Structure 1
Amino acid sequence: MTRAGVLKLGFGLLLAGGLGYWLFQALGLEGFSAGIAAEALLIVVVLVWTSSYLFRVVTGRMTYMQQRRRYRSGYDDLTAQQLQERFDAMTPEQQQALMASIAEEESSQAAD
């Protein structure tokens, strides 16, 4: 969320509190009771919003995390395609030399 979005949200909550106060007064509550009721309603709204945010964090459903997963899966697919194209463009001798080099490297790592 951008700074402007946060400011708009804060201003909206301030307005909602004021409107809630007038609404509770119109429903018959006196000034002090209307203020407490409006404040309680805003606290419930903020707690529900915060808990929904925490739920998204815990389950990994945040926008950034979803974008990152999509990027990585796309990048991995693209990389595999590019590697396959480069391998196919090699001569059979170069392919065999590469495969021998990989096998040699794997065997040296297994020996360590």
Structure 2
Amino acid sequence: MRRIDVFLIGIGVFAIGGAGYLGLKWAGLDNIDAGIWSQLLLVGIIFAWLSTYIFRVATKKMTYTQQLKDYKEAVLQKRLDELTPAELAKIQAEIESERNSG
């Protein structure tokens, strides 16, 4: 995420809070009640976003984790592609002997 994205998200969150406040005032609530309910709405939105972040961390669906996995797979595939047929056959024979002995 770029720095400008973080700023835009922050501005968006404050805009949602302000719009909620104005909407609640327009609906007939006084200043204090509209402020309390708009803050509750804002805190709820932030907790919902935070829960999605924690879920992505717990399930390892983060961008960095996925990029690291893709990189490791690409490196292994490149190494496999660079092997000669004789080296590949030797490695496959070693794997088969390990499977049979284990």
**TM superposition score normalised by structure 1:** 0.72
Q: Shift in Å at residue 84 of structure 1?
A: 2.7
Q: In the alignment, does 2:38 pair up with 1:38?
A: yes
RMSD: 1.8
Q: Sequence identity, in percent?
A: 34
Which residue number in structure 2 is paired with residue 70 of structure 1? 70
Separation in 1, partners of 2:11, 2:24? 20
Letter of the structure 2 residue corresponding to residue 2 of structure 1 = R
Specify the SS of the correspondent of 2:28. coil
**Residue 39 of structure 1, CA deviation:** 0.4
Gap runs ≥5 in structure 2: 91-102
C-alpha separation between the residues in 2 aligned to 1:77 and 1:13?
A: 43
The AA in structure 1 aligned to 2:83 is: L
CA distance in 2, matches of 1:42, 1:84: 60
Structure 1 residue 67: deviation in Å? 1.5
Aligned equivalents of 2:86 and 2:32: distance in 1?
A: 75
Unaligned runs of 5+ in 1: 89-98, 100-112
TM-score by length of 2: 0.79
1:85-107 per-residue CA deviation (whole Å, 9 max, x = no partner) reads 6848xxxxxxxxxx7xxxxxxxx
Structure number with greater Rg is 1
Amino acid at match of 2:81: Q
User: Relative contact order: is structure 1 or structure 2 higher (C-alpha 8 Å, sep ≥ 6)?
Assistant: 2
Number of corresponding residues: 89
Instruction: State how far apart, in whole Å, the 2-side matches of 1:25 and 1:85 are.
Output: 75
User: Mapping of 1:12-31 within 5 angstroms?
Assistant: 12-31=12-31
Letter in 1 for 2:36: I
Distance in 2, Cα, partners of 1:80 & 1:28 = 69
